[in-house]
Amino acid sequence: MDSSGVTYRASGVSLECAYSLLGILERRGPVQNFASCVDLPGGLRLAFSADGVGTKIELLRRHGMVKTAGWDCVAMNVNDLLCVGSKAEWFLDYFSQGTLDKKVFSDVLSGINAALDAVGGRLIGGETAELPGMLASRDLFELAGFAVGTVPKSLRHLGPKAVREGDILVGLPSSGPHANGFSLIRKALTPKEIAGSVKEILAPTALYHPQLKILFRDAVCARGVHAMAHITGGGFQEKLPRALGADFAAVVHVGSWPVPEVFSLIQQRARLDFQQMTGVLNMGIGFVLAVDPKVCRRLCHAIPGPVYLIGSVARRGKWPGLAGVALI
């Protein structure tokens, strides 16, 4: 990369610091990937996720699209829950402003409810805070969400222990950058460039549960999926190793899916190569499943909308220098 390229660090984001904080959290015990599960008496397993919208809020606010922030907040959580085999059933939100604005709050809430309706979830509570002196601008706000769902027995196998060498990586398209990488996007693009591609850049985050309902209905398809990854901050480079575990690597075939033009624009302006971009943004693939080759055709035919076979799972150490993700 050209040393003048716009990296995540140059945008003010330190992934290294984030990983070090994870180490602090793990002093109390292991932190689960994507979402956390708890087994309760009687055979019930609950899954929990917490996430926010990040600095995308700043652009949504500027372009009068704050309803999308509510949708994104739900989608980021719901997609994480899906990685552990859970459908979101209950949701809580945290919303704060320096001075509470009924119009902004109502628009955000409308987006939250629209996304929950799309997945069959329900808003059951949350917190609304007024923080004078902390959030100075009247229309500036912060938003986070917390989702809870149940995990059926048919999907409790999901995770690194179920992954096998030769599994097919099935990718589902994203709707755009979703709610990640916006510190870099805001640094790399001018306000005029953002305004010219605002629909593509600020598109609501895709919800993957509607596409993957088959996993909750077809036991063969459910057993054939070994792991799933929601491609958010850190892109393929960070999220695929989480899903596959320490023994396996993702071999991703570049060119096996169409990369939307908005990512090419960001890449050009940020002066990053493709591999570096896959360490920040989703590059057009928002969700990945590691699937048994024997079940892959059946599953792909059952999923509505575009599906891409983007690579396969290999055992680490099989190829010299093979780490968590190899782009070929």
Domain identity same for 309 and 184: yes
Domain identity same for 249 and 176: yes
CA distance 19 to 22: 5
- 231: domain CATH number is 3.90.650.10
Domain identity same for 166 and 280: yes
Q: Which amino acid is at 1?
A: M
pLDDT tens, position by position, 105-131: 999 999 999 999 999 999 999 999 998
Q: Which of 151, 183, 216 is a domain's end point?
A: 151
CA distance 213 to 211: 6
- 105: domain CATH number is 3.30.1330.10
- Name the domain count of the chain: 2
pLDDT tens, position by position, 294-323: 999 999 999 999 999 999 999 987 665 567
Q: Within a domain: residue 233?
A: yes
Tell me the pTM: 0.90
Q: Within a domain: residue 1?
A: no
CA distance 277 to 142: 27
pLDDT confidence tier of residue 27, bands split at 50, 70 and 90: low
pLDDT tens, position by position, 159-176: 999 999 999 999 999 999
Sign of the CA dihedral running 281, 284, 286, 289: negative
Q: Within a domain: residue 324?
A: yes
Judged against a pLDDT cut of 50, whether residue 1 lies above it is answered with: no
Range of the domain at 163: 157-328
Six token digits for residue 248: 């396996």
Domain identity same for 127 and 202: no
Compute CA distances 64 → 41, 113, 139, 146, 190, whole Å: 47, 18, 10, 25, 18
Judged against a pLDDT cut of 90, whether residue 5 lies above it is answered with: no
pLDDT given at position 135: 73
